[in-house]
Structure 1
Amino acid sequence: MPEQQIPAADRFARERMRHRFTAREVAVTAVSSPAEPFIRITLSGPDLHDFVSDGPADHARLFFPHPITGELVAPTPVGPGEDGIVRPEAPMFPRDFTPLNLRTDPETGLRAFDVDFLQHPDPGPASAWAASAKPGDRLVVVGPRGSVRAPQGADRLLLIVDPSALPSATRWINEVPERTEVEVIADASPADLEWIEAYLREQSGREVTVGEAFGTLADAAADAGIDEGTYLFAAGEASRLIPLRRLVKYEYGIPRAQYALSGYWKRGMANFDHHAPIDPEDPED
């Protein structure tokens, strides 16, 4: 008797959870570099006592000081233990980042997490702040509102990411079972593949081979193959993801439960909202 096929909704089920949504003040406790293009900032503080991040695609919104005046304008909590924030009227400088390595500091007993800032030739407010950050500097963190865990039933995890999404990629690798085969395709120059592979290995503890994306990201996915046991996560420059989205949605007809695509930034647009539709001509999933 043939083996019964497992429905995609069951094979790729992802547990969802909600968290208290509030604003938390944090301080820089350490600055390091896990790989040459990244600056790692460790953030900690009493407000993180109930901070939760259980999903590989989680984003926390960091609010940075004004790049000229240095004034930190950011939301504040509605009240102790309550859900919600109060947004100020003045301009703010927020950016979304993936929280890494959430833990309790053994010396202080306070919760802490890391943020990896990718350095650019023309840095924005976040990258510029990270380049000069020092212990004691303060930020405000809002979110994540909730988490969606990695699928535990996938036979294979295919990650197609550019350098901006590497922190999230490390969480995906860490949060799938050891039995899940992991394949990474980097939307980056060939010269970057060595350090990308080293970064993923160092952060995940797994030996992961990184391949180059030839042609469009749709071409890269077609070359890698997406079978019924593969879960696809792709993230990076939003315009690059459009052909890939059309491939998996229309040409391959892959069930929605089997993939997640996220535009982390968009060429020519400052502070792109990663919740915005990847494909403006087809905004519906």
Structure 2
Amino acid sequence: MSLLAVSSVVPLTPRMVRMTFTGDGLADVGTWPDQQLKLLFPKPGGSALVSSSADVSVWYQAYLAIPESERPWMRSFTVRSLVDGVLTVDFVLHGTDGPASAWAASARVGDVIGRFGPSPDYARPLGTADLLVLAGDETALPAIASLLELLPASQRRLAFVEVADPLEEQAIPGVRWVHRSAGEDLVSVVTSAEVAGSVWVWLGGEASAVRALRRHFVSLGVSKKDIEFAGYWRRSLTQDDAPTADDLAEAQERIAALSE
């Protein structure tokens, strides 16, 4: 675990801001598809530093040992890019209800947060198939954009991203934007798309939408091992809340898919 210092802040859309960070150890981290990491945001008067251990069990026990009033808020993010020791992360701004969004809305160059990861222990290769389908909401957009950049021009792909309205679109070729302002939703649009041949699927975003889409592709005959999925957030719940029965079932499905 180490600290990150903000080196730039650039608004991308009305609801998304891009930040770059520098920090010890970043130059030694490799790159792979869909890199995940934990960011830690200090509470007022507290610190973002937890432990220097790279062992996840040791680090997490040290995190839990911090009194709750001082324990930094921890949230999961996807790396937008990591080049020459500079980490880029895109933040969705959704008001001041969440600690990450509240921090990002007022972050300035020089501000410091903590990080744990990304770890190569969780690296998964990009799938191979006739058709790659990527789908998610704005929280999954950084991952989808980075995955699209890895694909050769000859690779058939379908990419769907649900956002609030057209102002939230970014200059990412090949994306089918799904606008909530127009009454669209990700599940309806994706399940209406025609897919054929061998298919590999990547899904991210709100947990119930991810589960619905995964069931859809399984029903089409896509093997569970060819579906990467992650519920990034839960409606009316935060990462601090206890897992629901659906969350636990999703975790079991992910474990089962990895063992197939």
- TM bin, normalised by shorter chain, reads 0.7 to 0.9
- Rg larger in 1 or in 2? 1
Q: Show the counterpart of 2:132.
A: 157
The correspondence for 2:79, drawn from 99, 114, 122, is 99
Q: Show the counterpart of 1:125.
A: 99
Q: Show the counterpart of 1:112.
A: 86
Distance 1:62 1:243 in 2: 28
1:24–1:141 Cα contact (<8 Å) kept:
yes
Corresponding letter in the other structure for 2:226 = Q
Q: Show the counterpart of 2:207.
A: 238
Distance 2:160 2:233 in 1: 18
1:26–1:139 Cα contact (<8 Å) kept:
yes
Q: Deviations over 1:36-80 (max 9, x none)?
A: 311111110233231233122x211001110xx2412432123xx
Distance 1:209 1:150 in 2: 18
Distance 1:218 1:195 in 2: 19
Q: Give the superposed CA RMSD.
A: 2.7
Which of 237-246 and 214-223 deviates more?
214-223
The correspondence for 1:39, drawn from 17, 25, 32, is 17
Summarize the alignment of residues 186-265 of structure 1 with structure 2, pairs less than 5 Å apart.
186-189=161-164, 191-192=165-166, 195-196=168-169, 199-201=170-172, 207-212=173-178, 217-249=186-218, 251-265=219-233
Q: Give percent identity, aligned residues only.
A: 26
Q: Deviations over 1:205-225 (max 9, x none)?
A: xx2141438877554333212
- Aligned to 2:239, the other structure's residue is in SS state coil
TM-score (norm 2): 0.80
Distance 2:238 2:148 in 1: 29
1:25–1:47 Cα contact (<8 Å) kept:
no
Q: Show the counterpart of 1:134.
A: 108
2:3–2:48 Cα contact (<8 Å) kept:
no
Gaps of 5+ in 1: 1-22, 105-110, 202-206
Deviant stretches of 4+, over 6 Å? 213-216
Q: Show the counterpart of 1:179.
A: 154
Give the helix-richer structure, 1 or 2: 2
Corresponding letter in the other structure for 2:125 = R
- Aligned to 1:165, the other structure's residue is in SS state helix
Which of 132-141 and 252-261 deviates more?
252-261
Q: Deviations over 1:90-115 (max 9, x none)?
A: 223111111122112xxxxxx11111
- Aligned to 2:115, the other structure's residue is in SS state strand
Q: Show the counterpart of 1:59.
A: 36
- Aligned to 1:224, the other structure's residue is in SS state coil
Distance 1:241 1:101 in 2: 24
TM-score (norm 1): 0.74
Tell me how far 1:173 sits from its aligned partner. Answer: 0.3
